[in-house]
Amino acid sequence: MKDISNNLQEQFSGFYNTPHLFMDPVFGMKPLITSKQETPVFEGSGLKKIRLGKRVERFVTTELKLDRDIDVISENPQIQTETNQTIGELDCLYLDAKQAVHLEIQFKFYLYDATLGTTEIDHCIGPMRRDSLLEKLTKLKEKQLPLLYANETKSIIDSLNLKAEDFIQKIYFRAQIFVPYGKVIQLKILNPKCIYGFYFKYSELQRFKDCKFYKPKKTDWLLDVTPNVNWKLYNEILPQLKVFEAEGYSPMLWLKHVNGEIKKCFVVAW
């Protein structure tokens, strides 16, 4: 059986296959839409202990470097005060045919809850309900993008022989969306291709007692589903899920149905 647990190429492929969430400007922010090609080879290393968000940033810069017109000039420069207090960082600075670009990068997993707010953006919440799409977009617009123009950033921009006003700003935002089990959602603002699966409550686990289960670790949430994993029967995984339920944890699962169909999903404690 193929071991996918530490395969960066498999993670990169899952990242690369995930669609961009926004095809048009959102909250006045312009999205970077990269063109899909045959999945490139990821030649990076040293990511074993790097969390998911930072791993994605490395994947994005790998993707950007495939474009011959793009020259990545700075990755994750730390913005510090005179007393060496870090106030943030810029995800990526690059030149696109001599045009300076400041890019902020996001890759998210959202559950679609129509009881929240009134818009598609309002409805998207993190699996643990600790972060939302609305909060993330607000932070991008009000904190992360304006950091380019902070006084503390000037020395970094100066070192590149550029000025803050030379830059245009874009957001890079890929996402996988999960809808309530059994519901059909028609997205109009968000990219409908981002719908990857469904979610259900622990109280509904019995519905899937005939399925086989696989629980990927957090960095493997990126992966595209494959049958070549160590599947567990319902009774085998149930004790672990009972612990998660008691802890209020909402993990991602892969479900393999009797007919062989495999789906990504979340089981939620709310």
Residues 147 and 82 in one domain: yes
Q: Considering 160, 178, 197, which residue would you say is the last residue of a domain?
A: 197
Q: Is residue 2 part of a domain?
A: no
- Say whether pLDDT at 44 is over 80: no
Residues 226 and 100 in one domain: no
Task: Give the pLDDT band of residue 1 (cuts 50, 70, 90).
Answer: very low
Beta-carbon neighbour count of residue 47 at 10 Å?
17
Structural domain span for residue 264: 200-268
Q: Is residue 31 part of a domain?
A: yes
Q: Is residue 87 part of a domain?
A: yes
Residues 67 and 135 in one domain: yes
Task: Report residue 136: phi and psi, to 5°.
Answer: -65, -45
The pTM of this model reads: 0.93
Residues 48 and 107 in one domain: yes
Q: Which of 58-67, 122-131, 231-240 has the lowest mean pLDDT?
A: 58-67
Burial zone of 150 (CB within 10 Å; 0-12 exposed, 13-18 middle, 19+ buried) = middle
Residues 140 and 232 in one domain: no
Pick the more confident residue, 80 or 169.
169
In whole angstroms, how far apart are CA 262 and each of 113, 196, 224, 268? 23, 11, 10, 19
Residues 91 and 219 in one domain: no
Residues 153 and 219 in one domain: no
Q: Is residue 102 part of a domain?
A: yes
Residues 168 and 263 in one domain: no
Number of domains present in the structure of the chain: 2
- Say whether pLDDT at 2 is over 80: no
Q: Is residue 1 part of a domain?
A: no
- 111-154 pLDDT, tens digit each: 999 999 999 999 999 999 999 999 999 999 999 999 999 999 99
Question: Structure tokens of 191?
Answer: 């990219």
- Say whether pLDDT at 91 is over 70: yes
Q: How far apart are CA 256 and CA 119, in angstroms?
A: 32
Please provide the average confidence, as pLDDT, over all residues in the chain.
93
Q: Which of 86-90, 207-211, 221-225 has the lowest mean pLDDT?
A: 86-90
Residues 232 and 182 in one domain: no
Cα atoms found within 13 Å of the Cα of residue 155, Cβ hemisphere only: 7
- 64-78 pLDDT, tens digit each: 988 889 999 999 999
Question: Structure tokens of 196?
Answer: 């990857």
Q: Considering 197, 219, 253, which residue would you say is the last residue of a domain?
A: 197
Residues 75 and 95 in one domain: yes
Contact 234, 214 (CB under 8 A): no
Residues 188 and 242 in one domain: no
As a three-state string, the secondary structure of the chain is CCCCCCCHHHHHHHHHHCCECCCCCECCEEECCCCCCCCCCCCCCCCCCCCHHHHHHHHHHHHHCCCCCEEEEEECCEEECCCCCEEEECCEEEEECCEEEEEEEEEEEEEECCCCCCCCCCCEECCCCCCEHHHHHHHHHHHHHHHHHCHHHHHHHHHCCCCHHHEEEEEEEEEEEEEECCCCCCCCCCCHHHEEEEEEEHHHHHHHCCCEEECCCHHHHHCCCCCCCCCEEHHHHHHHHHHHHHHCCCCEEEEECCCCCEEEEEEECC
Q: Is residue 121 part of a domain?
A: yes
Q: Considering 168, 197, 226, which residue would you say is the last residue of a domain?
A: 197
Pick the more confident residue, 151 or 37.
151
Residues 214 and 115 in one domain: no
- Say whether pLDDT at 3 is over 60: no
- Say whether pLDDT at 223 is over 80: yes
Output the pLDDT for position 217. 93
Output the pLDDT for position 39. 84
